[in-house]
């Protein structure tokens, strides 16, 4: 899936709906917290000087309904990086960009999955 596209955003939103709403189950995802094209995906990573890291976060909630626009759905996640540890929030489009930009590269799963249930 191509990062930054409506298909990627809708796909990620449907994963949130399926996992959290339908099954009350959080999920782990591999993402790029600060992409090499200059986009900071996770707010706590804005001060890092390097890009292209791979990092897992736990998505455990959301608010709002995704209607195709930025800011319509907020994602709640737990970050485990020592400098930004704890519950955080981020816009659905922003976190989806990081998930699909990472494209599973660097994952410890044999299939290099972006989303781990």
Q: Which residue matches tokens 């189950």? A: 25
Q: Give just the sign of the alpha carbon dihedral 19, 67, 6, 58.
A: negative
Return the DSSP state at 36: T
By residue range, what is the domain housing residue 20? 6-116
54-88 pLDDT, tens digit each: 888 899 999 999 999 999 999 999 987 767 778 89
Q: Is residue 98 part of a domain?
A: yes
Q: Is residue 38 part of a domain?
A: yes
Look at residues 56, 100, 60 and name the one whose alpha carbon lies nearest to residue 77: 60
Q: Is residue 1 part of a domain?
A: no
11-30 pLDDT, tens digit each: 889 989 988 989 998 988 88
Total of domains in the chain: 1
Q: Is residue 89 part of a domain?
A: yes
Give the end-to-end CA distance of the chain in Å, rounded to a whole number.
19
């Amino acid at each position: 899936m191509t990062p930054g596209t409506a298909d990627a955003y809708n796909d990620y939103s449907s994963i949130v709906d399926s996992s959290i709403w339908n099954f009350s189950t959080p999920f782990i995802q591999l993402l790029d917290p600060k992409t090499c094209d200059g986009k900071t995906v996770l707010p706590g990573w804005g001060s890092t000087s390097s890009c292209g890291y791979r990092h897992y976060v736990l998505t455990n909630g959301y608010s709002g309904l995704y209607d195709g626009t930025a800011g319509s759905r907020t994602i709640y996640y737990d970050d485990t990086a020592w400098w930004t540890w704890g519950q955080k929030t981020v816009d659905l489009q922003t976190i989806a960009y990081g998930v699909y930009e990472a494209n599973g590269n660097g994952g410890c799963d044999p299939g290099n999955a972006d989303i781990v249930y």
